[in-house]
Amino acid sequence: MRVSPAATLSVSLTIPLPLASTKARFSGVPFRFKQYVFNYQILSRPGRLVAAKPTRRWTFSCKCRNRGRNGYAKFDDEGEDFIVVNFFRFVSIGDPEAVIEKHLSFLKDLNIRGRIYLNEQGINAQYSGPSKDALAYVEWLKGDERFSDLLVQMSPAINGHAFPKLKLQNKPSLVQYEGGISHLPLLEPPMRAKPLEPSEWKRKLKDLTDDDEASPSSSSGRSCILLDVRNGYEWDVGHFRGARRPEVDCFRNTSFGLSDEKEAPLDPLINVDKEKTDILMYCTGGIRCDVYSTVLRQRGFKNLYTLKGGVSHYLEEEGTAEWVGNLFVFDSRLSLPPAAYSDKAVDKPGSDNAEDKAGRTPQTPVDTSFAKCYICDSQVQEIRHRNCANLDCNRLFLCCAECVVDLKGCCCSNCITAPRLRPVLHGVKRYEKWHVYRDSEVQTAPLV
């Protein structure tokens, strides 16, 4: 067909746009392309377009839609409430790769980002998305009888997605622990700690804290020890009163009950009566306690108890009783106040409160008296970690405003002179990838 140069042609295109092909940074915010105008001259030779002086205008309107595993983005969820969902289940999965394919097939048209790990021992998932998509995945999974009674934790997201992308894969260990966990009898419930409902956990904590002399004896006369098996930086922003934690920074190196005699002063389980001591342990969602209690069970400890659903479930059911501070979370939010897990903070889609929780975290007064600056040991005003500005350190730490300025966002004086130094972040922000800062001047302005 021959077309006259004077003709006007209007074209509408739908283009799937992989994120890898664009330099734009979307940061999880709903986004639509503006209209772009291209000036071309249509020549008499069919099928050929060449750039020329502006004689006619073509207007293209593009909108991206999620194509799931292929990496396309979905930006048509403007105005929806985003939530973060967490759950896990130790259960036998015969062919993880085949199961993963089924999950990917279901998720391909959902706007979900996060980490979903499966293997022969079960599933561990943390992801974000619009509530309708996030909950649709939960309901689909519960259609499998192995997950029909799955305990699911939800909390409000902040400004859209809490994760940069979806990572759904077969992972050797659902939890990182020194030596791995594939050899542990995690599929045998009697080998794990007995889960306590939040109300029962609260009663046991009251027995501990009611003792004026902070004795480990409970009102029932039994010996009782409360263990926090999370990472050190999680403890720093919030924990249960009276808890003990290992002298390690990372859970994978936890050694309570596994120590040699020479390490006895650092291990509260080294000399306890394994038959008569109640050991209560907790973590964020419960999965690490299931792993660690199995290790302790193999070491002969009989009376092991864990908080069902972890701290997040406890805060939802019982509020802040015996808890101080915030709860660390493994996503872009870093930490949440206890109110984020209350019924008023997390509502079902369509409820009166659903709009209130979208895009922001509910705030209530939080006890910050225990939180200390990692550098000068003074009290911090905001219980929120920051990463060291030295990329090669990247330590998570609490810091007062003065030390942030004095050390240029670093955790120590040695990091100030590091070759890959990022700028000081102002307010509640997370660092971008290194290439964003590589060719720019390091910012050292004080916080505002």
Catalytic residues: 283
Instruction: State the Cα angle at 165 between 162 and 170, rounded to 5°.
Output: 115
CA–CA distance, 289 with 201 (Å, rounded to integer): 14
* First vs last C-alpha separation in the chain: 64
CA–CA dist 274, 257 (Å, integer): 10
Alpha helix ranges (H) inside 57-130: 96-107
Number of Cβ within a 10 Å radius of residue 149: 8
Q: CA–CA separation, 228 vs 284, rounded Å?
A: 10
CA pair distance 40, 55, nearest whole angstrom? 7
Match 């966002």 to its residue by tokens. Answer: 409
Instruction: Give the three-state DSSP class for 126.
Output: strand
DSSP H helical ranges for 51-160: 96-107, 131-142
Q: At CA 315, angle to CA 311 and CA 320, rounded to 5?
A: 110
> Residues for the chain: how many in total?
448
Please name the helix (run of DSSP H) or strand (run of DSSP E) that holds residue 127, with its range, or none. strand 122-130
Residue 67, number of CB atoms within 10 A of its CB: 15
**Which two tokens mark 260?**
């040699």
Phi, psi of 142 (to 5 degrees): -70, -15
Cα atoms found within 13 Å of the Cα of residue 391, Cβ hemisphere only: 14
Instruction: Tell me the CA distances in angstroms from 12 to 35, 39, 62, 325, 390, one per residue in order.
Output: 11, 15, 8, 54, 48
Report in angstroms the alpha-carbon separations of 175 from 178, 311, 336, 411.
Answer: 10, 17, 22, 28
